[in-house]
Amino acid sequence: MTSRKNRVGGFGVSGLRGATLCALATAMVWSAGAVGFAAPASAEDMRSKQWYLEAMDAEKIWKTATGEGIKVAVIDSGVNPDTPSLKGKVLKGLDATDAAGEATDDYTGHGTTMAELIAGSGEGGGLHGLAPGAEIMPMRIVAKGFKPKKVNEASIATAIRAAADSDAHIISMSIGSEFRDDVEHEAIKYAQSKGKLLIAAAGNSGDEDNKPSYPAKYPEVVGVTAASPEGEVDDYSHHGALVDLAAPGSDIPKWCDATFTRYCDGSDGTSAATAIASASAALIWSAHPEWTANQVLRVMFESAGAGKDGNKKTLSNYYGHGVVRPGAHINRGLGKPGDANISPLTNKPTGSASSPASSQPSAPASSQAPEGKPGADAAVAGSSTKTEDDSQLGLAIGGAAAVVVLAGVVFAVVRKRRSA
C-alpha cells in the first residue's frame, strides 16, 4: 500500500510525492518495458507530471480520436477561459449560483483544473487534456469556497437541466454530497432522457464513513473512483454499489487557487478521476459520433481493464467494471456498442436513442433546496490520502505496447444497480 499525506476536505491541497517516484511507479505498474519519464522541462511543465498520459498511450489514441466535435458540460466552480491551455476551448455556459458573476468566474480554480484535464491543449506548460479536441461548457454552481450568502440552493439541479437542454454530450460532475435531493434527481433523469452521459465523483471518504455520495449514487449516473500510478484504487475513494468505473485520480497536478498563477503537484481525489473518465468518453464518442450515450458507456465498460475481485459474477466494489481504457477500444476495437436505447447502468430503456438528444427546454428547477440539504455547502470532490485495495485488481492500458504487470481479466456484466 502507498500512504498519502495532507488530506483535507473540500477542493483539497496538493500531495507531497515527487515526480521521480511517481514516474518510477508508473513505469513499473502501468506499462511493461518502460523506463520512466524524462524530468520536467521546467517547473511550469505539467505534461511531464501527468503520468497517466504515457500510461494510457495517449499519443497513439490522438492519431485516431481527440474528442473533436464533443462538448463536455463541467458542473463545478466555474471555468477560466483565459488560461493558455483553455484558450478557444470554452463555450458559453451558465452561472447557476444566482450571485454576481459569470460561468467563467472560477472562485477556487477547481473547475478550471477539471476542464484542463478534459480538454486542455497544454499550451504554456499547462495541463494537457486527455481529449484535447473536446470543448468545455462551464456550469458554475454553489459549492465550498463560494462566499455570497444569497444564492440558488438548487444550483446543481439548475445546471444539470441547462446542460440537458444544451448540445453538450457529456455532463461531468466532480462534486459530491451525502444528501439525496429529489429536485436534483429529477434533473438527472431528465438529462438522461435527453441523451446525455452523466459522470460523477464517487467521493473521498472511503477510508472514513464511506457514506454514499450524490450525484454519483443516482442510478443514472456513472460513479468514478480514483486509481494511483501503482495500479490501485486509493482507499480514500468511496467503495460499494455506486462505483461503476475507476480512472487515474492520484498524483494529478492542479491549479493551486483562483489566482491562476501556479500549479500544485500531486493532488489526490475522485474529482480528477471523473474529469479523466469524462475525457475518455469524449475520445470514444468522437470516434463514433453517431453513437448514443448508452453505446459509448457500454464500450467504456467492456473495454475497461479489471481483475479478480473474489466473485467473477459481480462487479468490483472498488473498480466497478474496471479502469477506463479508451485506447483499448480506439486502438484495438475492444467493446461493442450494443442497443442504442438501453442503459448499461440500469438495463432499462432511457427514452432517447439520439446522439445527443435535443428537444424543448424543461421547466427550471426550483430555487428552494429540499429540507435537510445544505445546498450552499455542497462539496466538490477533492483531495485524499492513502492507497489501499483488498481486491488487488490489475490495470490494463489500451495501447498495444502497454501491458499490465498484474494478471487481470476484462469483464462486463449487468450490474445489480443500487436503488435510487
What's the CATH number where 40 sits? 3.40.50.200
390 within a domain of the structure (yes/no): no
| Active-site amino acid positions | 76, 110, 271
- pTM score over 0.85: no
Closest CA to 368 of 154, 146, 149: 154
Planar angle of CA 30, 118, 112, nearest 5 degrees: 125
Judge contact between 169 and 285, C-beta under 8 A: yes
**What does the pLDDT read at residue 230?**
80
Q: Choose between 389 and 344: higher pLDDT.
A: 344
Nearest to 51 by CA among 230, 200, 180: 230
| Cell output for 247 | 480512472
Residue 201 lies in a domain: yes
Task: Convert the pLDDT of each residue in 208-228 to its tens digit.
Answer: 999 989 999 999 999 999 999
Domain assignment of residue 58, yes or no? yes
Q: Which of these ranges, 159-163, 287-291, 356-360, has the smallest mean pLDDT?
A: 356-360
**C-alpha–C-alpha distance, residues 207 and 233, integer Å:** 12
Residue pair 118/76 in contact (Cβ under 8 Å)? The answer is no
Report pLDDT for 354: 65
Instruction: Give the Cα separation of 257 and 260 in Å (integer).
Output: 6
Gap between the Cα atoms of 142 and 380, Å rounded: 9
Is residue 4 a part of any domain in this protein? no
Count of structural domains, the chain: 1
402 within a domain of the structure (yes/no): no
In whole numbers, what is the pLDDT of the chain averaged over residues? 78
Q: Within a 10 A sphere around the Cβ of 204, how many other Cβ atoms?
A: 31
- Report CA Rg, the chain: 19
- Does a structural domain hold residue 118? yes
> Has residue 400 been placed in a domain?
no
Q: What is the mean pLDDT of residues 372-384?
A: 43
Closest by Cα among 292, 279, 405 to 344: 292
Query: Tens digit of pLDDT for each residue in 267-286?
Result: 789 999 999 999 999 999 99
What's the first-to-final CA gap in the chain, in angstroms? Answer: 33
Query: Which grid coordinates are listed for 277?
Result: 473518465
Return the higher-pLDDT residue of 170 and 382: 170
46-94: pLDDT as tens digits: 999 999 999 999 999 999 999 999 999 999 999 999 999 999 999 999 9
Cis peptide before 212 (omega within 30 of 0): no
396 within some domain? no
Cβ density class 273-286: b for 16+ within 10 Å, e for less: bbbbbbbbbbbbbb
Rounded to an integer, the average pLDDT of 20-47 is 36
pLDDT of residue 380: 54
| SS3 annotation, the chain | CCCCCCCCCCCCCECCCCHHHHHHHHHHHCCCCCCCCCCCCCCCCCHHHCHHHHHCCHHHHHCCCCCCCCEEEEEECCCCCCCHHHCCCECCCEECCCCCCCCCCCCCCHHHHHHHHHHCECHHHCCECCCCCCEEEEEECCCCCCCCCCCCCCHHHHHHHHHHCCCCCEEEECCEECCCCHHHHHHHHHHHHCCCEEEEECCCCCCCCCCCCECCCCCCCEEEEEECCCCCECCCCCCCCCCCEEEECCCEEEECCCCCCCEEEEECCHHHHHHHHHHHHHHHHHHCCCCCHHHHHHHHHHHCECCCCCCCCCCECCCECCECCHHHHHCCCCCCCCCCCECCCCCCECCCCCCCCCCCCCCCCCCCCCCCCCHHHCECCCCCCCCCCCCCCCCCCCCCCCCCCCCCCCCCCCCCCCCC
Return the C-alpha cell found at 355: 446522439
For residue 405, pLDDT over 90 is answered with: no
All three cell numbers of 68, joined, read 473533436
List 94's β-bridge partners, or say none: 139
Whether a cis peptide bond, with omega within 30° of 0, leads into 229 is no
List the one residue out of 224, 233, 248 whose CA is nearest residue 170: 224
Range(s) of the domain holding residue 70: 19-377
d(CA 126, CA 223): 27
pLDDT given at position 306: 67
